Amino acid sequence: MHSEETLYAIALRHCPLIGDVIFRKLVLEVGSAKEVWELSKSGLQNIFGIGRKIAIEIGNPEHLKFAEKEILFCDKNNIKINLRHLGDLPTILNECEDAPAVLYQKGHFDHSKKAVSIVGTRNISNYGKQFIEDFLNAIKTENTITISGLALGVDAEVHAVSIQNSIMTAAVLAHGFHTLYPSKNRKLSEKILEENGVLFTEFNSSQKPDRENFIQRNRVIAGLSPATIVVETAFGGGSISTATFANNYNREVYALPGRIDEKYSQGCNQLIYQNKAAIISTIPSLIEQLGFQNDPETIAELFPTSEIKVLLPEQQQNILTTLSKKIPLSLDDISQKLEIPTYKILPDLLQLEILGYLKALSGRQYLAI
């Protein structure tokens, strides 16, 4: 049984020109959604920033009729209705100025878990898949929940691999619960709920997956977590907007670097170049930065070599295996051990130095870090 305030909140949010920020302003000014609804037109227009065009729709019985139908739909489909002004939203999302006034929910969201948002292109590569697999495998013993958008590609991979590793996962949709887009992920959405995960949407049952909804959805993905990881994205990809929202919320952003000629690494590289995202150099260092592990030795045991395997070419891996952290090796020594000419090793040594894997000493000698 839903409260009267829920009815008026849905009706108010359904009014044209009343978005989440104006909704919040009205409720904070007047006291409740019901009181806003019952306030006179002149009283509404006396509120700073609320003009005639906004005030004229408040009180329209058609919006109340819509709200009644929406509540019936939610009751029928086991959908929880969260109202921001009543404190129903996850605490971290509520910190965002433009958080949804109304957030619909299927399933369970565990507020005690450490959330991490992971997003990226629909055109995921094997490189991106390997990173997601290794990262989620490394944090599966943590009290974690992953957040993504149930799109094809990176999003679907995040949800599916989370489930495989018994990690709770949350999907944020860009439409109402009357449909599921993309339809290919319907079974995945059902699996998320079966495994005690959660589906969120701020869109009511009349709203389709229109293009503009996806950008709006991305702010919720960013808002639900203290950190967002961008796996792969092109210039101007949707994940760039998620990273932008996260930056605006003063949240941490991390990006997986890639080759400059790879289209779906270029967006990540640009985020790093513009200092809008921290570079992911190794998975243990990422885990440490996220605060998921406090013991570096434990991290090393969990993930001894594959962070290098995933993020570095084979020859660079071999160089690092050859180097010592205590005894410097000369360029000639490395060349002899690997049976590779020095001129072929120099570019890799420079790249490894830039990435922070080794230290170059005088006389062309090198130490692993």
Q: Given this model, what pLDDT does residue 54 score?
A: 84
Query: Which two structure tokens, joined as six digits, stand for 41?
Result: 């037109």
pLDDT tens track, the chain, 369 positions: 578 999 999 999 999 889 999 999 999 999 999 999 988 777 787 786 787 788 888 999 999 999 999 999 999 999 999 999 999 999 999 999 999 999 999 999 999 999 999 999 999 999 999 999 999 999 998 899 999 999 999 999 999 999 999 999 999 999 999 999 999 999 999 999 999 999 999 999 999 999 899 999 999 999 999 999 999 999 988 899 999 999 999 999 999 999 999 999 999 999 999 999 999 999 999 999 998 864 444 444 444 444 444 467 888 888 988 998 888 888 888 988 898 888 788 888 888 887 778 888 877 788 888
Question: Would the pTM of this model clear 0.95, i.e. be above it?
Answer: no
Q: Count CB-CB contacts under 10 A for residue 269.
A: 20
Q: Given this model, what pLDDT does residue 258 score?
A: 93
Query: Which two structure tokens, joined as six digits, stand for 123?
Result: 């055109």
Report the side by side order of strands in the sheet with 365-368: 329-330, 365-368, 358-361
Q: Given this model, what pLDDT does residue 355 score?
A: 75
Q: Given this model, what pLDDT does residue 100 score?
A: 97
